[in-house]
Amino acid sequence: MRAVSSLVSLSALATSSAFVAPGGNAIRASTGKTNAAMALRCLSRARLTSSVRPQAALRRPTAVRTMMMMSDAAVTEEEAAPAAPTGELTELARLEIRIGKIVEIARHPDADSLYVEKVDLGQGEEEGPRTIVSGLVNFCEESDLLGRDVVVLCNLKPVNMKGVTSAGMLLCSSNEDHSKVEPLCPPEGVPLGELVTFDGHLPSPVDAGNRAGKAWKRASKTLAVDDSEEAKFTGEKLPATFMTSKGPITSPLPGSIS
C-alpha cells in the first residue's frame, strides 16, 4: 500500500496551504506552504484504510503528465510561430516584388527589341507561368535568360505591348547611359514566388492597378545597385536592401534599377 500512497501528486502539496494526510490529519506550515518533509513521512505510514482511494491516486500522475505534455506542446507551437512583420507603411512596401524563373522565351513577333517570356512565380499549374514582355534583346541572349532566376515587379497594371499583354516587369540594373542592362540576381535557393522585403518597410502589396503604378513611380527614383553589388532602396527615410530568405538581391552592374 505504500506504493499506492506514493502516487499521490506532490504538485498539490507545493501549491496548497494545507495537506490532509491519509487518516485525516491536517499538516500546515507556519509560512502557509506545505511542510514537504512531514508530508512525505505521513505518506510513508499510510495504510489500507487511507481515505485516498487507490483509483484516484493512480489516475492523478497520468493527469499531471498529460497537462505537462500539453503545456510543452503549446510552448513549442509558440516558439515555432513566425514573428509578425513590422515596419512602416511606405510606397516601397506597396510594391509586390517576387522571385521568378524564366521557363520560356522568344522574340516578340512584331517588335525586334522585345522578348516575350514565360515566368514561373511558384503559383502552380492552375495559375501557370506569367507572360512578361521585356526590352532586353539588345542586352541579353535568349540562352542567357532561359532558366534564369529573376526579380519580378508583379502588381503593375497589365499593359498591351504590340499585341502581347505583359503582366509584370523584370527588374534590371543599368549603367548611366543605359548602354548596359543586367537583370537583378536572386540568391541561389530562394523559393519561387517569395516576396522580396525591405527592412523597416511593412510588406503591404496593393492589387495590380493604378495605385501600384503610382507607388512604383515614386519609389523607383531611389532604387539602385551600389558598389557592393547589392540592390537597395536609397531614400533618405528607411534606406534598405532588397532582401530574401537566402540573402540580398544583387547585380554585377552598379547603377539605377528599372
Q: Are 39 and 31 in contact (CB under 8 A)?
A: no
Q: What are phi and psi of 93, to 5 degrees?
A: -65, -20
Interstrand relation of 18-20 and 26-28 (parallel, antiparallel or unpaired) = antiparallel
Q: How far apart are the first and last CA of the chain?
A: 82
Mean pLDDT to the nearest integer, 56-83? 55
User: Using 50, 70 and 90 to split pLDDT, how confident is the model at 149?
Assistant: very high
DSSP lists the bridge partners of residue 257 as 173
Please compute the mean of the pLDDT values over residues 160-182 and round it to a whole number. Answer: 97
**Which cell is 143 given?**
540562352
When pLDDT is averaged across residues 72-85 and rounded to a whole number, the result is 57
Please give the Cα distance from 179 to 212 (Å, whole number): 28
pLDDT score of 213? 95
Could you give the domains of the chain? 2-80 (no CATH), 92-257 (2.40.50.140)
Which pLDDT does position 233 carry in this prediction? 97
Torsion of CA 204, 210, 213, 217, to 10 degrees: -110
d(C-alpha 149, C-alpha 167), whole Å: 17
**More confident call, 5 vs 65:** 65
Mean pLDDT, rounded, for 43-56: 48
Average pLDDT over residues 164-181: 97
Per DSSP bridges, beta strands 111-120 and 97-108 are antiparallel
Q: Is 226:249 a contact under the CB 8 Å cutoff?
A: no
What global pTM score does this model have? 0.68
Is residue 48's pLDDT more than 90?
no
